[in-house]
Structure formats: C-alpha cells, structure tokens
Amino acid sequence: MRLGTFIFLSILFFKCHSSKILIFNPIYGFSHVKFISKVADIIADHGHHVTLFQPYHIALKNLDGLVKNKNIEILNYHPTHYEELLKAEPQAFSFFWDSHLVGNPVIGAFLMPKLIGGEFKITAMEVLSDRNMLKLQFVLKHARLIKVGGIST
C-alpha cells in the first residue's frame, strides 16, 4: 500500500515537462556540425522535442548518421544555388590555422567575420526571405546564443 501511495504522490508532485527546442546548425564545417548534432542528441535523449534546422552553406558530405536519436526532426535547407555548391571546391580555410593575424584574439575577432561572412551571406539572405520558412511556426520563449570556437551558432 505504501508503494502505491509513493508512486501516486511521485507522479502527482514530480510532473516532468519537456520543451520544444529549435537548434540552428549551419552546414559549414564538419567539426561544428558533429558537435551540434551531439548536443541535439543529448537534449533529445533527455526527453525534449528537438528540431534541427540545417541551412547548407557548403556542400558538406558524410553527414548521414551524425544524429543518432530518431526522434529529432531534421530540416535540411538547400538554397537555390546548391547545385553550384556541389560543383565548387570545398573551402578549407587553411590560412586560419597558420595565420598570426587570425590567431591574435583582438585582430581575429574583427578579421574572422569579414573573411567567412561572404560564405554565409547568400544562403542566410535566402533563408530570411523564403516565404515557406515563414510558415514554420516556433514559439520562442528563450533565445540563447551559444558561442563555440569563435563562431556564434
């Protein structure tokens, strides 16, 4: 009898709420995509409803299987110039890793956005002006900017 009362009170007082979470995961670099996919898996494993929005800025391959949780809804956004991205040579930005200017925290903070901003601009402007994207409705209660490795996501 005590066990039944305990279970009833536990359910009554410790009601659990799950959140609907939208994660913005720009397809730009494999390490960033892999990290954000892992974060989405962890959040979904804890019972939350996760939607992963992935606009493609480059034609990155080998993304299948990064998201392990089958309950995550993945929205891949392929821009109109995606065929050009498939034909283009992928950007490695090797000068980021070798440059003393980008390695300097003060100069790098101003230089990095200017160097990679052009890569994001075309797809970002298309996402913002797409009428179909306006039909997707998400209730935004809290917005948090997560900054990982110098690139805000």
**Cα distances (angstroms) measured from residue 124 to each of 9, 15, 142:** 50, 40, 22
Give the model's confidence band at 149: pLDDT under 50 very low, under 70 low, under 90 confident, else very high: very low
**Is 68 a residue whose pLDDT tops 60?**
yes
Give residue-wise pLDDT tens across range 93-109: 666 667 777 677 787 77
pLDDT surpassing 80 at residue 118: no
Per-residue tokens: 120:
């994001």
Domain covering 20-152 in this structure, CATH number: 3.40.50
CA gap 98, 12 in Å, rounded: 59
Whole-number pLDDT of residue 128? 82
Predicted confidence at residue 103, as pLDDT, reads 74
How far is residue 147 from each of residues 18, 66, 130, 144, measured CA to CA in Å? 24, 21, 26, 10
Specify which of 11-20, 27-36, 85-94, 98-107 reaches the highest per-range mean pLDDT: 27-36
Distance CA 30, CA 150 (A): 15
DSSP 100-146: HHHHSHHHHHHHHHHHHHHHHHHHHHHHHH-HHHHH-----S-----
